[in-house]
Chain A
Amino acid sequence: MSDALGLYNYWIAIFLMMVGFYNVIASGNLVKKLIGLSIFQTSVFLLYITMGKVKDGTAPILGDGYDTFSNPLPHVLILTAIVVGIATTAVGLALVIRIQEHFGTIEEDELIAQEDSP
């Protein structure tokens, strides 16, 4: 039971990751895949931020009356990761636009069908 209270945050983070991951693999639509990817990544951020939290801590900004701070390092790592995430998403979307322009569709099965037919 104490496990459940101490770990539920991780479990939900993992659940969310897997929902995103499922979307990446299962979806046939190229935009939807990227949406899944961005959910997957965002959920990994939650894993990191959760581990940085200290009980009764506060945001790691020096201020009067606070002496317990959460760990700033995971925050810094995730700031970096968020930027990496948006960069990947942007490049992916740019590719999707070009694919649409050239092949007229962004559904994976139709793209494969095109490859086979001519």
Chain B
Amino acid sequence: MSSHLPIVPIVLPMIAAPLCSLLRRPALIWPLTTGVGWLVFAACAALLMQVVESGPIVYTMANWDAPIGIEYRIDLLNAYILVLVSGIAAVVLLYAPQSAASELPQDRHHLFCAAFLLCLTGLLGITITGDAFNVYVFLEISSLASYALISVSRDPRALKAAYKYLIMGTIGATFILIAVGLMYMMTGTLNMADLAQRVKMVEDTRTILMAFAFLSIGIMLKIALFPMHAWLPNAYSYAPSLVTAFIAATSTKVSLYVFLRFVFTIFGAEYAFDTLGFNDVLLPLALLGIVVASAVAIYQTDLKRLLAYSSVAQIGYIVLGISMGTVTGLTAGLAHMFNHALMKGALFLAVGCIVLRLHSSRLEDMAGLGKRMPITSFAFVLGGLGLIGVPLTAGFISKWYLLLGTLELGWWPVTVLLLISSLLAVAYVWRFVEVAYFQPPPAEASSDEAPLSMQIPLWMLLATTLYFGLQTDVTAGLAQRAALWLLGGGQ
């Protein structure tokens, strides 16, 4: 049965979702969902080990060989993202019951769990598949589920945010659909490995050029790369905290993965960067995103929104790494995907703890929080240090690689800009520190920490970021191997 391991991460949550919708009793569904989350994580971790030891895994659906049927093709890059997504999901699910009890209406927990599991199914399904059209199908599963997850918030503005996300997300998905159609039209296949070979034969056609353009724009919308990030801040700020933590940590990362997969595996770095000069488009967008979004983050009055803008900036860092097109740059991008997911996950979980007690995520309500919720505040500051890129945190590692990458290429202005942007990050993290530690708490406030069931997952994520700040073999090492793999054509 172990040869069927690859389907576990997809099929298990997909089956658990309808079961959740049937069971209805919160006492049953939360353990079920959490259990499924951890099982999926275990399966993904096992897959990663297998890939590291013995190379890519191919699993054919219904045993039809690749271009005829659909296959899973798991290499280092997929496996890395699979572990990331399922790991975050598992941790967030530990945290979820408490947080959901306070932020969601009681009678909809079973639907919420089902939607959460489907979102997980979708994200993992996108990552694991080796078929271009299948990506679209699972993209829609995860997107529809996330629209629903965002909109269940008590804040009615979440509805507007979800609607906006739905419109922009669907436009993005439809662009991807057009691009896949154009590629299929020119090659006659949908399988990624097959496409990679056949696209080379027709890569000088205008149709393939347009396929590339539409694909990039469609995915950029999903990634929320700078000028196309309009859906992100509202969606993150108004969604329930645990949803924000999950989606912020995983959804854009998976879209980034799709981007890497299509650009590097199918079109090839040579076509994208040398023939088209695609990095000349990515680089300015990434830099603009880093600077503008960091600057906007400083002026936010809401902690969630502040972090949301910071996410836009961090996506800029990742894309910057990708746009370098070198092994170091790509390593930095991949490592930052991983580290940022952990840090943002932890930060949003911390915000969730704060919201649980204060019923607000506005900065002005957080006066003296350092005294009222010392542990959570400390956790937030630690996460914030990671965002800035202080040594000994995971954020430092990826920033370090980014700097190395720019130095390698001799992009001095970019190096300077990176350092400036770190200062901007200091400024927006300082906003919280100032309010929480240097303002007196309101008179009637009592000290009241979040429950242990929420603290533990939060500290689990934080501990991982600290661990990966010291132990770089796993993140940066794997990222480097994956980067070499991608630039070598990634067959």
Contacts and interface: CB of A to CB of B under 8 A. Distances in A.
| Chain A directly contacts chain B within the complex, with at least one CB pair under 8 Å | yes
A6 to B, nearest CB: 13
A101 to B, nearest CB: 9
A40 to B, nearest CB: 6
B362 interface: no
Contacts of A24: 167, 171
Contact of B170 (A47, A51, A88, A95): A88
Interface of B, helix, strand, loop or mixed by DSSP: helix
A21 B170 CA distance: 11
A41 interface: yes
Contact of A103 (B137, B144, B156, B174): B156
Contact of A95 (B133, B136, B157, B163): B163
Contacts of B151: 95, 98
B140 interface: yes
Interface residues of A, number: 30
Given A95-B162, A99-B160, A48 B137 contact: no
A44 B137 CA distance: 15
Interface in A72-118: 73-74, 77, 80-81, 84, 87-88, 91-92, 95-96, 98-99, 102-103, 111, 115
B181 interface: yes
Contacts of B163: 30, 92, 95-96, 99
B147 interface: yes
Interface centre among A51, A88, A98, A111 (most CB of B within 10 A): A88
B177 interface: yes
Contact of A41 (B148, B157, B174, B185): B174
B144 A44 contact: no
Contacts, number: 68
Nearest to A97: B159
B160 A88 contact: no
B166 interface: yes
Interface centre among B133, B151, B166, B171 (most CB of A within 10 A): B166
Contacts of A96: 163
A115 B473 CA distance: 48
Interface in A18-41: 21, 24, 30, 33, 37, 40-41
B178 A44 contact: yes
Contacts of A37: 167, 170-171, 174
A77 B133 contact: yes
Given A95-B151, A99-B159, A102-B159, A44 B181 contact: yes
Nearest to B133: A77
A91 B167 contact: no
Contacts of A99: 159-160, 163
Given A24-B171, A44-B178, A47-B181, A88 B166 contact: yes
A91 B146 CA distance: 11
A95 B137 contact: no
Contacts of A30: 163
Nearest to A37: B170
Contacts of A73: 190
B162 A48 contact: no
A46 B167 CA distance: 21
Given A30-B163, A95-B147, A84 B137 contact: yes
B177 A81 contact: yes
Contact of B177 (A33, A44, A91, A103): A44
Given A41-B174, A95-B162, A96-B163, A88 B148 contact: no
A118 to B, nearest CB: 12
A80 B131 CA distance: 14
Contacts of A95: 147, 151, 159, 162-163, 166
Interface string B164-185: 0011001100100110010011
Interface in B176-223: 177-178, 181, 184-185, 190
Contacts of B190: 73
Contacts of B174: 37, 40-41, 44
Contact of A87 (B144, B157, B162, B171): B144
20 contacts: A37-B170, A40-B174, A41-B170, A44-B174, A44-B177, A44-B178, A47-B178, A51-B185, A74-B184, A87-B144, A88-B140, A88-B144, A88-B170, A91-B166, A92-B163, A95-B166, A98-B151, A99-B160, A103-B156, A103-B160
Given A51-B181, A95-B147, 5 more contacts: A30-B163, A41-B174, A47-B178, A91-B147, A99-B160
Interface of B: 133, 136-137, 140, 144, 147-148, 151, 156-157, 159-160, 162-163, 166-167, 170-171, 174, 177-178, 181, 184-185, 190
